[in-house]
Amino acid sequence: MSATTTPPTLIDVDRPAVPFGRLVQVEIRKMFDTRAGRWLMISIVALSVIAALSVILFAPDDVQTYEAFGTAFGVPLGILLPVVAILSVTGEWSQRSGLTTFTLVPHRGSVIAAKIAASVIVGVVSVALAFVVGAVGNVLGAAINGVDAVWNVEVSQFFTILLTNILGLLLGFTLGALFRNTPAAIVGYFVYGFVLPTIFGILAAFQDWFEDLQPWIDFNYAQTPLFDGKVSGEEWAQLGTSGLIWFVVPLVLGIWLIRRSEVK
């Protein structure tokens, strides 16, 4: 071999060595390979079944509608799906798999994009299954209670409810990227989801100036019209403005931190 011959390299530094589709498949599998990920999905299924049984057994006949079943299923999904997204990011640090991941795929941007895509896919499939199971629950509930099944959810609501769940899931991903620590990200998620809305609500109730400002800076509040399926132009603007504050800017910062932080 000539002394000037360039030895072959195992990784092409100019492009990802692994196809993006395969990265997404790997990230989806990693979501369920850990005990935490498996138990989270089991918890979602179990809580959904409990929610459906609760509506069938305890709700009055006049409120046993598809919307009621959808709402019952939406609670565990809305709470636990963002945690799944958090674990997809923080697992690289808490389980120390980041060294392997970023060694095999040194282009961190590709890994981040694959994690986002995997999270969205899991969210879409989960919400779609919730809609299907909600329909089954509506039919069974009507049959058990001897009433007619009520289908009071418009087509537009399916898409806006799906958007709400995807936004919540991606917010969990954002917090995971910002903190890169599972307990800190989960605490941050519950503070954002439960503490801040309470503070904003109290402030809006006692301060007139904040009541008009709240839809423009409170991302949770701005998503409320999505559940009705009818969103005005102003409400879309409020969603975009508050989302820029609480979602877009933190996500960009979180991705920058992942790309720059040292993996140990």
Which value, in Å, is the radius of gyration of the alpha carbons in the chain?
22
Residue that has been written with the tokens 């598809």 in this structure: 66
Instruction: Grade residue 244 by pLDDT with cuts at 50, 70 and 90.
Output: very high
Q: How far apart are CA 166 and CA 169, in angstroms?
A: 5
Instruction: Grade residue 264 by pLDDT with cuts at 50, 70 and 90.
Output: low
Instruction: Grade residue 17 by pLDDT with cuts at 50, 70 and 90.
Output: low
State pLDDT tens for residues 116-127.
999 999 889 888
State pLDDT tens for residues 159-192.
888 898 899 999 999 999 999 898 999 999 999 9
Q: Which two tokens stand for residue 161?
A: 């409810």
Q: Which two tokens stand for residue 258?
A: 């992942």
- Tell me which residue of 251, 263, 75 sits closest to 172, measured CA to CA: 251
- The whole-number pLDDT of residue 102 equals 78
Q: Looking at the whole model, is its pTM more than 0.85?
A: no
State pLDDT tens for residues 204-240.
999 888 999 999 999 999 998 888 778 899 999 999 9
- DSSP assignment of the chain, as one string? --TTPPPP-SS-TTS-SS-HHHHHHHHHHHHHHSHHHHHHHHHHHHHHHHHHHHHHHHS-GGG-SHHHHHHHHHHHHHHHHHHHHHHHHHHHHHSS-HHHHHHHS--HHHHHHHHHHHHHHHHHHHHHHHHHHHHHHHHHHHHHHT--------HHHHHHHHHHHHHHHHHHHHHHHHH--HHHHHHHHHIIIIIHHHHHHHHHHH-HHHHHHHHHH-HHHHTGGGGGT---HHHHHHHHHHHIIIIIHHHHHHHHHHHHSPP-
The one-letter amino acid at 205: A
Instruction: Grade residue 132 by pLDDT with cuts at 50, 70 and 90.
Output: confident
Q: How far apart are CA 85 and CA 177, in angstroms?
A: 10
* Domain boundaries of the chain, sorted by first residue: 20-260
Sign of the CA dihedral with 141 first, then 145, 146, and 149 last: negative
Residue 174: exposed, middle, or buried by beta-carbon count in 10 A (0-12, 13-18, 19+)? buried
